[in-house]
């Protein structure tokens, strides 16, 4: 029996980035897009081209790198937005413009201040104009969950006639129950028949995003919009990993459907995005949480020892979670062995990134007795996603603050020249950051600071994530740092945020 394919539309790079503190630089977005392609995502919503020069640049570069997935840009139903989207994805192998306008009474009256007829005219214009750039146009009825079903039919007719091939029905505020989403999708699916694919985009404000998405599939939706780890503004979006594994594990209920997702890439995708954004899934998060395959209860452990299926409905291996082994490489290991190990972990690096990662590995091998897969994954991810390095940390010296004022001496390389500065602060971290600001000439406002051990042990690699705002008019920037010394990792993280900010400023000047 031929199964119907449920298209997976991933919006981690667009809606997911709207999570507070989840902004990413261009290199980070490119690496996520490459991983999403490896995961088997059908459509990658790479961003909102008109939102900023940084978004446009990232979408344009992703469009040139991704070949097996459709690359999509969001656009409001405004000519300038549609044009930006079309230009950003112009070089993509497969491309889509996703345009939208609100269709609920409350949005039309209070936000748009437009009549229903004006909304339809604007929607038709946007779709018609998008067709000048691409064949594949998706139209979203923003706040469809609270829209009149008669108006949804009317505007769908109009945009389908104008060339839209996908109609998206978002539950924008996460208000609907599964039965209500199911009914809306069934009515609209029956109404549009073979004229367009019905898609859903469910937010998780009531914790129903995944349930609503699955109910939509059973009622005729053939595309589901979601994010890795359920990232997204407010309470987030329906989680890709939960939707995909529910469809697979419950093949009795979803016997007629399948996805193109390579499920063994789910866990690597989750870890990459957690490392880049600094937003870790909660420990008991379904599928990818730290405790998702842990069994502490004695009764459970007894059952697991006799037969894993007593308490596991899926295997860790099915999502790409392989029991970690110790990396049998040390400071005397060569590039060939290092490259081979990376390949086994799923990394394919270009020559420059491979060389830099190998250098970092050799330095780490001098400091740690045992290097685990998690150490290597964090190190390589950090290297792959670095913005253009204007500043690079050379050395850091700290003064004991037990009997005096905390102070730091920082040496940074800029354009081949080493600059040495010292500074004081309310604490060690404050002293480090203020000294870096002296050298850079830019003052940041620290919005968030997180530190965690990548693995266990006294010599664990410290991973530091900082969120810094360098301008009141732009979103806060994330920076990452890795080192066995937490203070050095903190300095690297702050410099990473600084480099990302400067790379975005460079894009602004270019455009």
CA-to-CA separations, 112 to 119, 132, 142, 362, 440, in angstroms, rounded: 9, 26, 12, 57, 43
Place of tokens 């900082």: 466
* Element at 37 (helix H, strand E): helix 26-39
C-alpha radius of gyration, the chain, whole number: 24
SS (H, E, C) 260-290: CCCHHHHHHHHHHHHHHHCCCCCCCCCCCCC
- For position 364, what pLDDT does the model report? 83
Identify the weakest region by mean pLDDT among 44-48, 298-302, 393-397.
298-302
Token code pair at residue 365: 């091998």
Q: What is the percentage of the chain residues whose pLDDT exceeds 90? A: 60
Over range 91-107, report the average pLDDT: 97
Fold held by 391-510: Double Stranded RNA Binding Domain (3.30.160)
What is the per-residue pLDDT for 1?
Answer: 64
Q: What is the mean pLDDT of residues 224-240?
A: 96
Percentage of the chain exceeding pLDDT 70: 91
What is the sign of the dihedral through the CA atoms of 298, 299, 300 and 306?
Answer: positive
- pLDDT tops 60 at residue 56: yes
Higher pLDDT, 1 or 299: 1
Buried b (16+ CB within 10 A) or exposed e, 479-494: bbbbbbebbbbbbbbb
Tell me the pLDDT band of 368, cut-offs 50, 70 and 90.
confident
Whether the Cβ atoms of residue 102 and residue 119 lie closer than 8 Å to each other: yes
Check the CA dihedral 358-363-366-369 and report its sign.
Answer: negative
Q: For the chain, give the mean pLDDT.
A: 89
The mean per-residue pLDDT over the stretch 152-160 comes to: 98
Residue 453 structure tokens: 């051990």
Residue 475 has pLDDT above 80, yes or no: no
Would you list the domain boundaries of the chain? 4-277, 293-320, 326-383, 391-510
Burial class (CB in 10 A: 0-12, 13-18, 19+), 286: middle
Query: What is the predicted pLDDT for the residue at 298?
Result: 46
Give the β-pairing of 417-424 and 407-414: antiparallel
Q: Return the pLDDT at 294.
A: 67
**Which CATH number among 1.10.1240.10, 3.20.20.70, 3.90.650.10, 3.40.50.1820 corresponds to the domain 4-277?**
3.20.20.70
The model's confidence at residue 300, banded by pLDDT at 50, 70 and 90, is very low
pLDDT above 80: residue 311: no
Looking at residue 401, what is its pLDDT? 61
Same fold, 4-277 and 391-510: no
Q: Which of 156, 219, 223, 226 is nearest to 190 (CA)?
A: 219
- State pLDDT tens for residues 14-36: 998 877 666 788 888 999 999 99
Say whether 365 sits in a helix, a strand or coil: helix
- Quickly state the pLDDT bin for 455 (edges 50, 70, 90): confident
Write down the pLDDT at residue 333: 75
Residue 290 CB neighbour total at 10 angstroms: 12
In sequence order, which residues have a C-beta less than 8 Å from that of residue 343 and are 6 or more positions away? none
263 touches 30 (CB < 8 A):
no
339 vs 153: CA distance, rounded Å = 55
Q: How confident is residue 309, by pLDDT bands cut at 50, 70 and 90?
A: low
């Amino acid at each position: 029996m031929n199964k119907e394919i449920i298209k997976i539309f991933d919006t981690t790079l667009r809606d997911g980035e709207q999570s507070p503190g989840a902004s990413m630089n261009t290199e980070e977005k490119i690496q996520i897009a490459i991983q999403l392609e490896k995961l088997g995502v059908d459509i990658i919503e790479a961003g909102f081209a008109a939102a900023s020069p940084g978004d446009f640049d990232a979408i344009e570069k992703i469009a040139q790198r991704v070949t097996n997935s459709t690359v999509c840009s969001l656009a409001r139903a405004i000519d300038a937005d549609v044009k930006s989207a079309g230009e950003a994805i112009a070089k993509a192998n497969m491309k889509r413009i996703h345009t939208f306008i609100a269709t609920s009474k409350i949005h039309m009256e209070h936000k748009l201040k437009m009549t229903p007829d004006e909304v339809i005219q604007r929607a038709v214009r946007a779709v018609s104009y998008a067709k000048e750039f691409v064949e594949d146009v998706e139209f979203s009825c923003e706040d469809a969950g609270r829209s009149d079903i008669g108006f949804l039919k009317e505007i769908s007719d109009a945009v389908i006639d104008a060339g839209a091939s996908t109609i998206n029905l978002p539950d924008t505020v996460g208000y609907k129950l599964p039965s209500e989403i199911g009914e809306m999708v069934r009515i609209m699916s029956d109404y549009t028949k073979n004229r367009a694919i019905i898609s859903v985009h469910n937010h998780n404000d009531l914790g129903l995003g995944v349930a609503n998405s699955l109910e939509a599939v059973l009622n005729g939706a053939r595309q589901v919009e979601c994010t890795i780890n359920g990232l997204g503004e407010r309470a987030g979006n329906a989680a890709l990993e939960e939707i995909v594994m529910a469809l697979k594990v419950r093949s009795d209920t979803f016997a007629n459907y399948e996805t193109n997702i390579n499920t063994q890439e789910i866990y690597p995708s989750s870890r990459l995005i957690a490392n880049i954004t600094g937003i870790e899934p909660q420990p008991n998060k379904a599928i990818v949480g730290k405790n998702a395959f842990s069994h502490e209860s004695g009764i459970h452990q007894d059952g697991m020892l006799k037969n894993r299926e007593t308490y596991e409905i899926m295997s860790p291996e099915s999502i790409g979670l392989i029991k970690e082994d110790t990396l049998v490489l040390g400071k005397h290991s060569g590039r060939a062995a290092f490259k081979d190990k990376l390949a086994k972990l799923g990394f394919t690096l270009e020559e420059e990134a491979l060389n830099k990662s190998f250098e970092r590995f050799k330095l780490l091998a001098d400091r740690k007795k045992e290097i685990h897969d998690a150490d290597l994954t964090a190190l390589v991810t950090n290297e792959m996603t670095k913005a253009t390095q204007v500043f690079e940390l050379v050395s850091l010296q700290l003064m004991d603050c037990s009997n005096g004022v905390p102070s730091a001496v920082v040496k940074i390389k800029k354009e081949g020249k080493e600059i040495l500065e010292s500074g004081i602060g309310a604490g060690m971290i404050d002293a480090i950051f203020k000294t870096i600001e002296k050298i850079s000439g830019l003052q940041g406002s620290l919005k968030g600071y997180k530190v965690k051990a990548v693995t266990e042990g006294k010599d664990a690699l410290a991973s530091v994530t900082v969120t810094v705002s360098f301008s009141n008019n732009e979103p806060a920037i994330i920076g990452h740092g890795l080192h066995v010394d937490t203070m050095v990792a903190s300095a690297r993280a702050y410099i990473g945020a600084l480099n990302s900010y400067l790379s975005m400023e460079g894009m602004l000047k270019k455009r």
